[in-house]
Chain A
Amino acid sequence: MLDFLKSPILAMQDFFALAGRAFLNIVRRPHYFDDVFIQMDIIGVGSLPIVVLIGFFSGGVMALQMSRALSTYGATGQIGTITAITLVRELGPVLTALLVAGRNASGIASELGSMKVTEQIDAMRALGTDPVQKLVTPRLIATSVMLPLLTIIADFVGLFGGYCVACLLLNLLTPSQYWTTSYRAIEYNDLSQGLLKPFCFAIIIALVGCFYGMRTTGGTQGVGRATTQAVVVASIWVFVVNFVITRVYVNL
């Protein structure tokens, strides 16, 4: 039983050690700003098209489903309210995080994993640079900045998708009705949890991706395994942390 628990606990310890060093390096010299910007481009700008697409359709489908449910009560005027709240609180942050986890946690893990198995991480250390400083910290900063921004874009595009369905496709309410109700529905509470969530998810995605990449062993097969594990574990933790944050906000 103890042996069974030993490896996950050790992995957890390694994970937090890596996380601690990655955070500490934010304030420590040298700073690799070039790498931060390159990662922001890969993670943020690179994910933009797919985030926009997914945001649009999830907002649209939300409006479609709600139009049916709300029409039973004759309350189709509330479509904007419901779309806005669900998007800002849950769908926007979680869907964007899952997309970025699939796209970037895997990308990070496979890149770092390949570097690990070809001894490039060791070469980096031998050349007097800290791989955590050079590889992990820039990815952590880039993801933490870009994921909240991506979420804001996804939320907005989602609202636009809802508008297209509710006003243009189904003709249930006027544009000003839709936009006013959705604008009024969102409170500071919704906004703060809608921005806190992607920030936490970003830390999870970047660190899990880097963690599995940095501890890759076993050649190319190992890289594949690390990539899969990174996506699975990052996605699971996104859901768990999402639940915890929601639980806290529901009581506020």
Chain B
Amino acid sequence: MADQSSDCILRFDGVSVRFDETPALDHLSFSMRAGETRVILGAAGSGKTVLLKTALGLIHPAEGTVSVFGDDITRRTEQEMSGLRSRIGMLFQEGGLFDSLTVEENVAYPLVNQKRARRLSPEQVRERVEESLRFVELEHTLEKFPSELSGGMRRRVGIARAAVTEPPLVLFDSPTAGLDPITANTIIALIVKERDVKNTTTALVTHRYQDGTLLANFRYNPESGQLEPLGRNGSAAGRTTTFMVMREGRLVFEGTQDQLEASRDPYISKFARQSSE
């Protein structure tokens, strides 16, 4: 276990979360290593979002321990957490943008307000904001407010904001929920790009199996600027994608894509069959 914890970025150990006695997470245990991609599937209300919020320390577990970058965060105070959170990027379901700030101010927010990164000059901040927005191809929206953007653009700004501090771990909460298939694929392509260019550990919560397939089987080619397919299992360049399926707060499956597709469990195979339908 000791050698495991060294490169273990996120670790849940028997974690339970309850809201008024109804369990949202039920004795959940898993661990994520550096460089890994984790796809978390599950129906609505299965506890996927709660899982991500618990990983960030936004929700405190009733039982069990959560470790991030090897530190136990279960008993941390809010003040101690903010330093750690600046090393984790998070995209909220609807983008979670500040509606009274412009796109530029939104993306600059972590750079300007975090304790760690407050020594940047305004020019440097502006440069990094533009770079981050160029990454999601939205550099022309600097002065706009989030309400003036479409749903897909808002998520892209959310990705730019999550990635602007270049955190080693990025969590995505249903980035494709409520989007048309074309926009959804654009968003996932950006997530793959973010993962491969910045070399981040990625956890993606979704109810669409295609999102996971894209993440597992494609990689970003920096020369062509396009996604290209990997060999089966997506294990090239030391990358592994692990799938998890959640049901009513419990982890009912953890393994590779092949294992997921071979599963005979009706609940699990429903997710795997989605793509062929």
Interface set of A (CB-CB < 8 Å, partner B): 28-30, 32, 115, 118-120, 122-130, 132, 134
Q: Is B99 an interface residue (CB 8 A)?
A: yes
State how many angstroms separate the Cβ of B154 from the closest Cβ of chain A: 12
B99 touches A118 (CB 8 A): yes
Are B94 and A127 touching (Cβ within 8 A)? Answer: no
B58 touches A29 (CB 8 A): no
- Among B53, B96, B109, B115, which residue has its beta carbon within 8 angstroms of that of A30? B115
Cβ-defined partner of A125 (8 Å) among B58, B83, B97: B58
Whether B98 contacts A120 by the Cβ 8 Å rule is yes
In the bound complex, what is the Cα–Cα distance between A123 and B53 (angstroms)?
10
Given contacts A127-B110, A127-B161, contact A122 B78 (CB under 8 A): no
8 Å CB interface, B96-153 against A? 96-99, 109-110, 113-116, 118
- B residues sitting closer than 8 Å to A (CB atoms) are 53, 56, 58, 78-79, 81-86, 88, 90, 92, 94, 96-99, 109-110, 113-116, 118, 161
B110/A123 in contact, CB under 8 A: no
Q: A119-B92, A120-B98, A123-B92 are in contact. Are A129 and B114 (CB under 8 A)?
A: yes
Let me know if B98 and A126 touch, CB within 8 A.
no
Chain A residues positioned under 8 Å from B58 (CB to CB): 122, 125-126
A21 to B113, CA, bound (A): 18
Q: Inside 8 A of B97's CB, which chain A residues have their CB?
A: 120, 123
- Whether the Cβ atoms of A128 and B78 lie closer than 8 Å is no
**In the complex the two chains form, what is the Cα distance from A119 to B116 in whole Å?**
23
Whether A127 lies near B115 (C-beta < 8 A) is no
> How distant is the Cα of A122 from the Cα of B57 in the complex, in angstroms?
10
- Do B114 and A127 have beta carbons less than 8 Å apart? yes
* Shortest distance from the beta carbon of A36 to any chain B beta carbon, whole Å: 14
Structural contact, B110 and A128, CB atoms closer than 8 A: yes
Name the contact of A122 in the complex, choosing from B83, B92, B116 (C-beta under 8 A).
B92
A120→B115 contact, CB < 8 A: no
Q: Give the shortest distance, in Å, between B166 (CB) and chain A (any CB).
A: 13
In the complex, chain A residues whose CB is within 8 Å of the CB of B161: 127
- Can you offer 25 A-B residue contacts whose CB atoms are under 8 A? A29-B115, A30-B113, A30-B118, A119-B92, A120-B98, A122-B53, A122-B92, A123-B90, A123-B98, A125-B78, A125-B81, A126-B58, A126-B85, A126-B88, A126-B96, A127-B90, A127-B113, A127-B161, A128-B82, A128-B83, A128-B113, A128-B115, A129-B82, A129-B110, A134-B113
Residues of chain A with a CB closer than 8 A to B118's CB: 30
- Chain B, residue nearest A122 (CB): B58
- With contacts A120-B96, A130-B79 taken as known, whether A125 is within 8 angstroms of B85 at the C-beta atoms is yes
A119 close to B96 (CB less than 8 A): yes
Residue of B nearest to A127 (CB): B110
A127 near B85 (CB under 8 angstroms)?
yes
Contact A127 B99 (CB under 8 A): no
Contact assessment for A122 and B82 in the assembled complex, using a CB-CB cutoff below 8 Å: no
Query: Are B94 and A119 closer than 8 Å at their CB atoms?
Result: yes
A126 and B78 contacting across the interface, CB-CB below 8 Å: no
Chain B's closest residue to A128 (CB) is: B86
CB-defined contacts of A124 to chain B, threshold 8 Å = 98
Q: Which residues of A lie under 8 Å from residue B83 when comparing CB positions?
A: 128
A136 and B197 alpha carbons, distance in the complex (Å): 38
**Residue with the highest number of chain B CB atoms closer than 10 Å, among A28, A118, A126:** A126
> Is the CB–CB distance between B96 and A123 below 8 Å?
yes
Query: In the complex, what residues of B have CB within 8 A of residue A127's CB?
Result: 85-86, 90, 109-110, 113-114, 161
B99 with A126: CB separation less than 8 A: no
B86: chain A residues within 8 A (beta carbon): 127-128
Q: Which residues of B contact A130 (CB under 8 A)?
A: 78-79, 82
B82 — nearest CB in chain A belongs to which residue?
A128
Interface-centre pick from A127, A129, A130 (highest chain B CB count, 10 A): A127
Contacts of B94 in A (CB 8 A): 119
Bound Cα distance from A126 to B118, whole angstroms = 17
Tell me the complex Cα distance, A130–B78, Å: 7
Closest chain B residue to A120, Cβ basis: B98
Residue of B nearest to A32 (CB): B113
A132: which B residues are within 8 A, CB to CB?
78
Q: Would you give the shortest CB distance from B90 to chain A, in whole angstroms?
A: 4
Q: Taking A120-B98, A120-B99 as contacts, is the C-beta distance between A126 and B113 under 8 angstroms?
A: no
